Amino acid sequence: MNDSVAGNDRPEHSQGGTYTVEGQEFVRDQRYIPTRITRDAVDGFPVEPGRYRLVAARACPWANRSIIVRRLLGLEDVISLGTPGPTHDERSWTFDLDPDGRDPVLGIERLQEAYFARDPEYPRGITVPALVDTQDGAVVTNDFAQMTLDLSTEWAEFHRPGAPQLIPQDPTERAEMDAVMQEVYTEVNNGVYRCGFAGSQEAYDEAYARLFTALDRLEDQLSGRRFLMGERITEADVRLFTTLVRFDAVYHGHFKCNRNKLTEMPALWGYARDLFQTPGFGDTVDFGQIKEHYYRVHTDINPTGIVPAGPDLTGWTTAHGRESFGGDPWGGGTPPEPVSAR
């Protein structure tokens, strides 16, 4: 499962990640609940405003992408948001940020309760993000990759006016974006974890080389274009951003991804700041929760639980100069309204 897992059936436990060690290499468990919420309700779950609750911890990169997409598309009034705190125990993510430690809509203390409402013997990790049906309190799906694609396509009728087209309609461009997203996932999103949880020097060295080979390639590509697919934001940018925004704060030191910092890669640093300053991206990020999550939950890597004071994060709001590439981030649309309490 993703790195944001808690509880159950794990050969090894990290942070939350459920993974196996094959030749001392980190291998992510990618088994998810594949049910989808669609317009034709083929899986039994129809698109229905107000029915579903997105449970997504702000600390988690996989959950963060769902929060970003929900906000960019203007689905705040259509799909409610529940936010567990930044840490969890062996059993589950908990709603310790809410009054009385319970999600105010689902009425539960632990996300585990929603998984067990779906399957009382649910055998795998308790992951975020998860979409929960408020009618019975059961998880519908935790397939984070398909989830955001469906928010763009199946929920299109309920997008805000001016919402960006995060999924290209042209088949050729869509195929190109899918290939980019696959590389971003395997080499960068998951690459930092292969470094952090490598079980041997050899496995770490290989993971480290793969990660920075990919980052160097992206540095080169983004030296000549504003966004991954060209002149406008797509889902590919959302997926890369959630790793980049955590890079210096946690991955550089905590996961030993320390050839250089993001701030030392000019194109990637400018690109990341460009997105951070774009409504829907930086306003979903909580650096305090991110640091607390990684440094307190990963006791196998950081047994003292000490959360470092640095790095200095003020640079995220400095000028990036990426406007010189031209284009329109919104592809003819408009940015979302300021953040609401929803």
Which pTM was predicted? 0.94
Query: Residue 247: pLDDT above 60?
Result: yes
Same fold, 5-158 and 171-325: no
Burial label for 230, CB within 10 Å (0-12, 13-18, 19+), is: middle
> Which CATH superfamily groups domain 5-158?
Glutaredoxin (3.40.30.10)
Quick one: what percent of the chain has pLDDT higher than 70? 92
pLDDT for 181: 98
Residue 288, strand partner residues = none
pLDDT for 341: 52
**Annotated binding site, which residues?**
93
What average pLDDT score do residues 99-112 get?
97
pLDDT band at 40 (very low <50, low <70, confident <90, very high): very high
| Active-site hit among 19, 32, 122, 193 | 193
User: Over the range 178-214, which residues count as b (16 or more CB within 10 Å of their CB) and which as e?
Assistant: eebbebbbebbbbbbbbbbbbeeeebbebbbebbbeb
32 in active site: no
Contact assessment for residue 142 and residue 36, using Cβ atoms and an 8 Å cutoff = no
Q: Which residue in 69, 97, 66 sits closest to 84, CA to CA?
A: 97
Backbone angles phi, psi at 27, to 5 degrees: -125, 115
DSSP string, 191-217: HHHHHHT-SSHHHHHHHHHHHHHHHHH
Contact assessment for residue 131 and residue 52, using Cβ atoms and an 8 Å cutoff = yes
Contact assessment for residue 37 and residue 7, using Cβ atoms and an 8 Å cutoff = no
What average pLDDT score do residues 253-273 get?
98
Tokens 């992206």 sit at which residue?
A: 218
Question: How far is residue 227's CA from residue 235's CA, in Å, rounded to a whole number?
Answer: 11
Q: Which residue in 18, 34, 69, 24 sits closest to 235, CA to CA?
A: 69
User: 118: how many CB neighbours lie within 10 A of its CB?
Assistant: 19
| Mean pLDDT score across all residues of the chain | 93
| Active-site hit among 19, 60, 115, 271 | 60
Query: Residue 21: pLDDT above 70?
Result: no
Q: What's the chain's Rg over C-alpha atoms?
A: 19
pLDDT for 9: 34
Query: Residue 8: pLDDT above 50?
Result: no
**Annotated binding site for glutathione, which residues?**
93
pLDDT digits (tens, 9 = 90+) for 167-198: 999 999 999 999 999 999 999 999 999 999 99
Query: Residue 3: pLDDT above 90?
Result: no
pLDDT for 15: 34
pLDDT for 30: 77
Contact assessment for residue 244 and residue 64, using Cβ atoms and an 8 Å cutoff = no
193 in active site: yes
pLDDT digits (tens, 9 = 90+) for 275-288: 999 999 999 999 99
What average pLDDT score do residues 301-325 get?
97
DSSP string, 121-173: T--S-EESSEEEETTTTEEEE--HHHHHHHHHHTTGGGPPTT----S-SSHHH
pLDDT band at 5 (very low <50, low <70, confident <90, very high): low
Query: Residue 6: pLDDT above 90?
Result: no
pLDDT for 4: 60
pLDDT for 11: 29
Q: How does strand 52-55 pair with strand 80-82?
A: parallel
User: 82: how many CB neighbours lie within 10 A of its CB?
Assistant: 24
Report the residue count for the chain: 342
Question: How far is residue 185's CA from residue 174's CA, in Å, rounded to a whole number?
Answer: 16
Burial label for 233, CB within 10 Å (0-12, 13-18, 19+), is: buried
CATH architecture of 171-325: Up-down Bundle (1.20)
Query: Residue 16: pLDDT above 70?
Result: no
List of residues 6+ apart from 159 with CB closer than 8 A: 73, 74, 75
What average pLDDT score do residues 122-142 get?
96
The ranges assigned to domains in the chain are 5-158, 171-325
Query: Residue 14: pLDDT above 50?
Result: no
Question: How far is residue 226's CA from residue 126's CA, in Å, rounded to a whole number?
Answer: 36
